[in-house]
Chains A and B, each alone.
Chain A
C-alpha cells in the first residue's frame, strides 16, 4: 500500500529566505504526487502535482516541487518566502495504475517570520 511521510511538524523560515517542506513517499508502482495548502479555517487548496515528465514542477503562488525517484522524495520549495505563505501544507500520493484512494501526509505547518 502507498504511504507518504512529512518528517517535520513545523518549519520556520524568515521572510525573503528560501523555503523547503519535505515529503517522502512509498508506492508499489509509479506515483502521482500532490501538494495542497490549507489556510486557517479553510478547506484544502491544490498547489501542484507531478504526473510524468520534468522532475521540477511549478505550481501556484510561486511554489515548485522536485520529484526525485531515487530518493522517493517530492519536496516543496519556494525561492523567497512571504509571510502570507504561512499555512499548513500537505503532501499526497496516489499509485498509478491502481484504482485507489489518495493518501495524505500528516501535514507540515509553515511559519514565515517577518
Chain B
C-alpha cells in the first residue's frame, strides 16, 4: 500500500479483555516495528521483525503482550487481560531492510487504546 495502515484507529475496551491491533506495512518492507506511546510520553520500543529472522522482543513489557507477523506482511499485536496502564497509542512502522541507503522507517497513524 501507499503507507503504513493500522487498525483499529481507536479502541475502547474493558479491563481484563484481550485486544488485537493490526498493522499493514508498506509493500516490500521487510522490517516492521511496534512502539508504544503513553499520553505525554516518548516512544517506547516494543518489538521488531526483520524478514525471516527471529523477532527482537526485548521491549515487550510483560507476557501479556505478544506479536506475530505473517511472512513480510501483516503484523498483529495482542494484549491479553488488558490493564488501565496499557492505555496508549500503539504505533507501527516499517522500512526496507538495513542493506541499502539508510532506510527510513515510516509510521502509521497509530491505534489509540483506552482501557476502562
Contact = CB atoms under 8 A, between A and B. Distances in A.
A107 B93 CA distance: 17
Contacts of A102: 33, 95, 105
B116 interface: no
- Majority-rule SS of B interface residues: loop
A32 B98 CA distance: 10
Interface string B32-73: 010100000011010010100100100000000000000000
Contact of A43 (B48, B56, B97, B107): B107
A103 interface: yes
A105 B35 CA distance: 13
A100 B109 contact: no
B102 A46 contact: no
B84 interface: no
A54 interface: no
Q: How large is the interface on B (under 10, 10 to 19, 20 to 34, 35 or more residues)?
A: 20 to 34
Contacts, number: 53
A34 B87 CA distance: 28
B53 A99 contact: yes
B101 A51 contact: yes
Contacts of B48: 101
Interface string A71-114: 00000000000000000001000101011111111110000000
11 contacts: A32-B102, A43-B107, A43-B108, A49-B102, A51-B102, A99-B50, A99-B97, A101-B45, A102-B105, A105-B42, A107-B42
B104 A49 contact: yes
Interface of A: 32, 34, 36, 42-46, 49-51, 90, 94, 96, 98-107
B110 interface: yes
A57 to B, nearest CB: 11
Given A44-B91, A107-B42, A107-B43, A101 B56 contact: yes
